[in-house]
């Protein structure tokens, strides 16, 4: 009896350590992702960036994330989740130091892309570590809620860290803080976490890894360059290269005996629903919130720190909701659909702003969107793991978060185009652009909800059987 009690106590301690360290890794990655949103003016001025450089300062980390998330998840499952998590944290810390030291735009952008690669390893491996530590059921649902809260927490704290750093030191201080925290997480993970991997790892899919990284990088770079305006040769070249490379990736994966991602996973309704919901989250929620801070400053004269507090109202509410979302007695599919639909409704309440609107006009809507976002984030963490074969939690996390960041890149690009309009000389154009952005992102949220509802689970087999079937298909 004593041994049994001690064993349960040791398991709970191990689970708590895993959850704390893994969620901390996701938290710091999201903090870093959001720091430039409220520090763009100071950063661009210090680095001497032009308009195109400003866009790359804002978006460069998403290139590293999009290019590496799926690969990092697969490699973590096959070669060790703790190993990839620690390596990602170390790279993340070094890249953050490089960003803090950056003398110019190009150096800073390269550092941020490297930060994205390190962040991809942190995010993808973190959910795999949690899935391995917590058995399927209520315990994993609760842990997924904490992980989802860390996503919202990072989005809440990133703009605040940037605002506080800019006010009391300078914008570079934020990256020193991020580097220090990442270093602590790397050491803690190496000492406290147990190693885990799949029982029968696949060999490294080198062609698939390279094609996916190149294709995603070309796609995201095309979207970033496209925001600068005009159909330029570099935009056309990247836009042509991206689909060619991604199609080649899927062809290679279909024929590979050691595929990083079996494209036939997209025939599973659960996987399609989780991936589609993540994409809609990026295009609907993240795209609008990315535009919010710049809009309230330009149109309403709200300070950088004030804008950060507005984003905090949304994301902090999301954190609290995600922690309690495990009490929701709904299937993952219905939870995601209701959450996305509620986000869309909340976004529509932000229509009709005018010059007389103050920060108080935003708060009720942002709190409502935050509650809905928390429901979605908790559901995404759970469904990302549940929708893939057993033991492939990092793969599920990588695929899900890739969809989220690609969706945000597409959404931010579309919002920047439709919100601009032909004339920006008067204040009315800013508010018209805001209405266009709000309608588009609300439509994306509603579309995501409809897609999730359409992905019924008919014909879905239990995870162990599905895993065996997919494994057999890769041997053909």
- Give the E-state strand segments of 173-320 in sequence order: none
100 and 52 in a common domain: yes
Report the C-alpha gap between 52 and 40 in whole angstroms.
12
Is residue 166 situated within a structural domain?
A: yes
Alpha helices in 134-171 (DSSP H): 138-168
Domain assignment of residue 335, yes or no: yes
| Residues 320 and 273 reside in one and the same domain | yes
Is residue 465 domain-resident? no
Q: What string of DSSP letters covers 380-442?
A: HHHHHHHTS-TT-HHHHHHHHHHHHHHHHHHHHHHHHHHTT-S--SSHHHHHHHHHHHHHHHH
Vertex 414: Cα angle to 367 and 149 (nearest 5): 35
- Asked whether residue 20 is assigned to any structural domain, the reply reads yes
- The answer on 363 and 240 residing in a single domain is no
**Residue 120 domain flag:** yes
Number of domains in the chain: 3
Give how far Cα 48 sits from Cα of 99, 108, 470, Å.
14, 11, 51
Query: Are residues 170 and 233 both part of a single domain?
Result: no
Residue 4 lies in a domain: no
Residue 279 neighbours by CB under 8 Å, 6+ apart: 403, 404, 406, 407, 448
- pLDDT for 471 equals 39
User: What is the pLDDT at residue 165?
Assistant: 87
What pLDDT shows up at residue 472? 37
Are 302 and 310 a contacting pair, CB within 8 Å? Answer: yes
Q: For residues 149 and 229, state if they share a domain.
A: no
| pLDDT at residue number 142 | 83
Residues 270 and 401 in one domain: yes
Question: Any alpha helices (H) in 48-80, and if so which ranges?
Answer: 51-79
Is there a single domain that holds both residue 216 and residue 330?
Answer: no
Same domain (yes/no): 209, 186: no
**How far is residue 218 from each of residues 5, 33, 92, 246, measured CA to CA in Å?**
54, 20, 22, 10
How far is the C-alpha of 432 from the C-alpha of 352, rounded, in Å? 9
Token pair for residue 176? 């020193």
70 within some domain: yes
pLDDT digit string (tens) for the chain, length 476 residues: 445 554 455 566 788 899 999 999 999 999 999 898 878 888 989 999 887 888 888 888 989 998 898 899 889 988 899 999 999 999 999 999 999 999 999 999 999 999 999 999 999 899 889 888 888 777 887 888 888 888 888 888 888 898 888 888 889 999 999 999 999 999 999 999 988 887 777 788 888 889 999 999 999 888 888 877 667 888 899 999 999 999 999 898 888 877 788 788 888 888 889 999 999 999 999 889 888 888 888 788 888 778 888 888 898 898 888 888 777 777 778 889 999 999 999 999 999 887 888 888 889 999 999 999 988 988 887 788 788 777 777 888 888 888 988 898 888 888 888 887 554 446 678 888 889 999 999 999 999 999 999 987 544 443 333 333 333 333 33
Same domain, 242 and 276: no
Q: Give pLDDT, residue 105.
A: 93
Provide the sign of the torsion angle of the four alpha carbons 402, 407, 408, 409, taken in this order: positive
- Return the pLDDT at 11: 61
- Decide if 51 contacts 228 (C-beta within 8 A): yes
Q: Which of 292, 288, 377 is nearest to 340 (CA)?
A: 377
First to last CA, the chain: 50
Per-residue confidence (pLDDT) for residue 476, from 0 to 100:
30
Whether the CB-CB separation of 232 and 225 falls below 8 Å is answered with yes
State whether 426 and 443 are in the same domain.
Answer: yes
Domain assignment of residue 187, yes or no: yes
Judge if 295 and 237 occupy the same domain: no
Sign of the Cα pseudo-torsion (402, 406, 409, 412, in order): negative
Residue that finishes a domain, picked among 193, 224, 248: 193
The boundaries of the domain holding residue 364 are: 265-455
For residues 310 and 383, state if they share a domain: yes
Residue 168's pLDDT is: 83
Place of tokens 């945000």: 408
What CATH number is given to the structural domain containing 411?
1.20.1250.20
Domain-terminating residue out of 193, 224, 245: 193
d(CA 256, CA 203): 11
């Amino acid at each position: 009896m004593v041994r049994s009690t001690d064993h349960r106590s040791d398991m709970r301690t191990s689970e708590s350590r895993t959850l704390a360290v893994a969620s901390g890794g996701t938290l710091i990655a999201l903090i870093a992702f959001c720091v430039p949103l409220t520090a763009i003016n100071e950063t661009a001025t210090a680095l001497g960036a032009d308009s195109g450089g400003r866009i790359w300062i804002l978006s460069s980390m998403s290139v590293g994330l999009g290019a590496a998330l799926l690969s990092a998840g697969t490699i973590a499952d096959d070669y060790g989740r703790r190993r990839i998590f620690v390596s990602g944290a170390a790279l993340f810390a070094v890249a953050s130091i490089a960003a803090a030291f950056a003398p110019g735009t190009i150096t800073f952008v390269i550092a941020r892309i490297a930060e994205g690669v390190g962040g991809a390893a942190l995010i993808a491996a973190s959910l795999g570590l949690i899935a391995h530590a917590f058995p399927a059921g209520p315990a994993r649902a609760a842990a997924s809620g904490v992980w989802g809260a860390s996503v919202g927490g990072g989005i809440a704290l990133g703009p605040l860290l940037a605002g506080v750093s800019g006010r009391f030191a300078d914008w570079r201080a934020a990256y020193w803080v991020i580097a220090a925290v990442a270093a602590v997480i790397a050491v803690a993970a190496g000492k406290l976490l147990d190693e885990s991997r799949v029982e029968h790892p696949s060999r490294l899919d080198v062609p698939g890894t390279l094609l996916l990284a190149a294709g995603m990088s070309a796609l995201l770079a095309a979207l970033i360059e496209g925001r600068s305006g005009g159909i330029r040769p570099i935009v056309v070249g990247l836009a042509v290269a991206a689909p060619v490379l991604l199609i080649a990736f899927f062809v290679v994966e279909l024929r590979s005996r050691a595929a990083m991602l079996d494209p036939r996973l997209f025939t599973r309704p659960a996987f399609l629903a989780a991936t589609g919901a993540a994409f809609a989250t990026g295009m609907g929620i993240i795209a609008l919130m990315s535009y919010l801070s710049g809009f309230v400053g330009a149109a309403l004269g709200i300070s950088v720190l004030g804008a950060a507090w507005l984003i905090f109202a949304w994301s902090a509410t999301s954190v609290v909701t995600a922690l309690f979302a495990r009490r929701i007695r709904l299937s993952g599919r219905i939870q995601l659909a209701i959450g996305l639909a509620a986000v869309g409704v909340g976004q529509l309440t932000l229509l009709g702003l005018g010059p007389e609107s103050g920060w108080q006009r935003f708060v009720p809507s942002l709190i409502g969107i935050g509650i809905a976002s928390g429901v979605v984030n908790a559901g995404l963490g759970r469904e990302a793991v549940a929708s893939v074969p057993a033991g492939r939690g990092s793969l599920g996390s990588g695929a899900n978060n890739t969809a989220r960041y690609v969706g945000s890149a597409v959404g931010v690009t579309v919002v920047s185009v439709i919100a601009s309009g032909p004339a920006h000389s008067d204040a009315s154009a800013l508010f018209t652009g805001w209405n266009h952005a709000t309608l588009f992102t609300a439509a994306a949220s509603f579309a995501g909800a409809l897609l999730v509802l359409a992905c019924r689970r008919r014909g879905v087999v239990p995870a162990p059987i599905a895993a065996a079937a997919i494994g057999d298909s890769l041997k053909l």
